[in-house]
Amino acid sequence: MQRYFTNKKLNDDFILNDYDTHHITKVMRMNIGDHIEVVYQKVAYECEIVQIDQMVRTKPLTVLAKEEKQPQKILLLPLLKEQKMDMVLQKATELGIDEIQLIYTERSVVKLEPKKIMKKLERWQMIMKEASEQAKRLTIPLVRPNILKLEALEDEGGIKLMCSTRKPQNNIKLFLQNHKVYDKIFIAVGPEGGFTLNEENTLIEKGFSPVTLGKSILRVETAPLFCLSVLLYESME
């Protein structure tokens, strides 16, 4: 069944937004009586469509899944070219990212003013919403609406790693073996060419541990997905 998210409720029924209404009626060509999955307040329900006109109204039938407590995963990422950015947002969502914090780096290829970033946020959130529906998630990740300099990062607790190309002694496997229990993890990925030495030192001062991802030097769009895949593997029971 197709999954949709909503934050609107009328009596006991769920109301879907205009975009999802168009998808249900024009793309999926569903009818009254068809079943879909609706996520409301981090709970997934199997629902029956009971109204299709200017809006889609659904009646919940059974609970399919509820959110389970998991460590929060936050990705620190420089701005990327549009195609690469879209891919990272989509695949990171599928792999369980919770938030993305954009960062300024000296070697960043893309430079945008804050006002232009705000215009892109809606599109980025739509990419992550659709990826969350495809992956059957109960939450949609958030792109934080500001770009921070590394010096401005605040201590939010949790454990912190940064991807380094300077061959530190620690690799991601050893790092996770030494941090088996945590409630939050930050992953900092640099631009093409990696973080500068000054940037790595700044992140170390902020509590980040430099780690390698193996012998190969990965592209900026590959590194975060590799890290998230490792985290997903390590968390499997």
Q: What is the DSSP string of 205-216?
A: HTTPEEEB-SSS
Co-location of 175 and 127 in the same domain: yes
- Residue of 118 and 223 predicted with greater confidence: 223
Co-location of 18 and 78 in the same domain: no
Q: CA gyration radius for the chain?
A: 20
Q: How far is CA 93 from CA 12, 65, 146, in A?
A: 29, 18, 19
Confidence of residue 11 (pLDDT cuts 50, 70, 90): very high
Co-location of 219 and 135 in the same domain: yes
| Domain's final residue, options 66, 84, 115 | 66
Co-location of 39 and 138 in the same domain: no
- State how far the Cα of 5 lies from the Cα of 16, in Å rounded to an integer: 8
Q: What is the mean pLDDT of the chain?
A: 92
Segment 159-185 shows an average pLDDT of 88
User: Could you list the residue range(s) of the whole structural domain that residue 40 is in?
Assistant: 3-66
Q: Which of 168-203 are b and which e, b meaning 16 or more Cβ less than 10 Å from the residue's Cβ?
A: eeebbeebbeeeeeeeebbbbbbbeebbeeebbebb
**pTM for this one?**
0.90
Co-location of 28 and 114 in the same domain: no
Co-location of 166 and 113 in the same domain: yes
Confidence of residue 202 (pLDDT cuts 50, 70, 90): very high
pLDDT single digits (tens) 57-68: 999 999 999 988
Confidence of residue 237 (pLDDT cuts 50, 70, 90): low
- Residue of 168 and 108 predicted with greater confidence: 108
CATH of the domain at 22: 2.40.240.20
pLDDT single digits (tens) 88-141: 999 999 999 999 999 999 988 777 776 777 788 989 999 999 999 999 999 999
CB 30 within 8 A of CB 52: yes
Co-location of 62 and 82 in the same domain: no
Q: Which residues contact 50 (CB under 8 A, 6 or more apart)?
A: 13, 32, 57, 58, 59
Segment 65-84 shows an average pLDDT of 92
State residue 116's pLDDT score: 74
Co-location of 98 and 14 in the same domain: no
Co-location of 58 and 77 in the same domain: no
State residue 114's pLDDT score: 66
CA 199 and chain centroid, separation: 24
The answer on pLDDT for 163 being more than 90 is: yes
The answer on pLDDT for 46 being more than 70 is: yes
State residue 188's pLDDT score: 97
Co-location of 161 and 212 in the same domain: yes
